[in-house]
A and B are shown apart, each in its own frame.
Chain A
Amino acid sequence: MAEIATEKYEGIHFISVKGEIDAGSSIYLDNALKEAIEEGEKKIVVNLSELDYISSAGLGVFISHLDEFQLHKTKLTLFGINDTVKQVFDILGLEKLLTIVSDRQEAIDSFND
């Protein structure tokens, strides 16, 4: 099961994901990102520090929004990915397509580049 929470802090839209994202629960992550896009958010941070598992369905959610993010000049940063989850991103080479940093402060700083 997955739990998704959102929070706004200094112009940044935070989405925290807890638990497991699979073919059944990826819809919740998708909805959270869609809501952020609809609200016109330009800086989105996804906190994955309590994510224990992600399958292709969850990874597909991030990939499917990349084109839209580029179009609307929205920046997405992920942080807190543990080693087991990170290897899944690595198998597909997603670290080249997504901004992935280690902690919340680095994620906030990623918008200052």
Chain B
Amino acid sequence: MTPLMTKRLTIGCSKDELVRIRQFTSDMLEEHSVPDLQAHKLVLAVDEVCANLIIHANDCNPNSHIDFDIEFRPRQIIFTFRDKGEGFDINEYESPSMEELISTRRQGGLGLMLVKRIMDKIEFSTEKNHNICRLIKMYP
């Protein structure tokens, strides 16, 4: 299938870059007339994966980079992250229960739960020395 449109943003692995990736995603979704409430959820899922890659896969090293693509296809939007950090397959991650988070007073663990609930499909692969994470959202 020929993509209708793909846009790319490259960011350094710093938490300060999250604002930029959210703005970029939000602008692209608005340009493609994705309704506000839906767009907000997609921006959130992108932010969560990106924060995870920056903090856990790349230890907030600003010299490491993440290439982020948004591809608009008929009936689906694909968000792709490429990085060279420590590989991590979200599908294999078992989110802790809410009870566990409360009793252990943990702050982390909710992000990937959100991503799984917002996205229709998550793919992870490794090509050469790159990790590739794809988030796929279907729309009518």
Contact = CB atoms under 8 A, between A and B. Distances in A.
Contact of B107 (A26, A68, A92): A26
A83 B19 CA distance: 20
B47 A67 contact: no
A109 B55 CA distance: 40
Contacts of B101: 60, 63-64
* Dominant SS among interface residues on chain A: helix
A66 B114 CA distance: 20
B110 A63 contact: yes
A112 interface: no
B37 A60 contact: no
B134 interface: no
B105 interface: yes
B41 A64 contact: no
A53 B22 contact: yes
Contacts of A1: 19
B67 interface: no
B87 interface: no
Nearest to A91: B117
A55 B106 contact: no
A36 to B, nearest CB: 16
Nearest to B111: A56
B51 interface: yes
A6 interface: no
Interface of B: 15-16, 18-19, 22, 36-37, 40-41, 43-44, 47-48, 51, 54-55, 98, 101-103, 105-111, 113-114, 117-118
18 contacts: A20-B19, A22-B22, A23-B47, A23-B51, A23-B55, A24-B16, A24-B18, A53-B43, A55-B111, A56-B111, A56-B114, A57-B51, A60-B107, A60-B109, A63-B107, A67-B105, A88-B41, A92-B110
Interface of A: 1, 20, 22-24, 26, 30, 53, 55-57, 59-61, 63-68, 83-84, 87-88, 91-93, 97
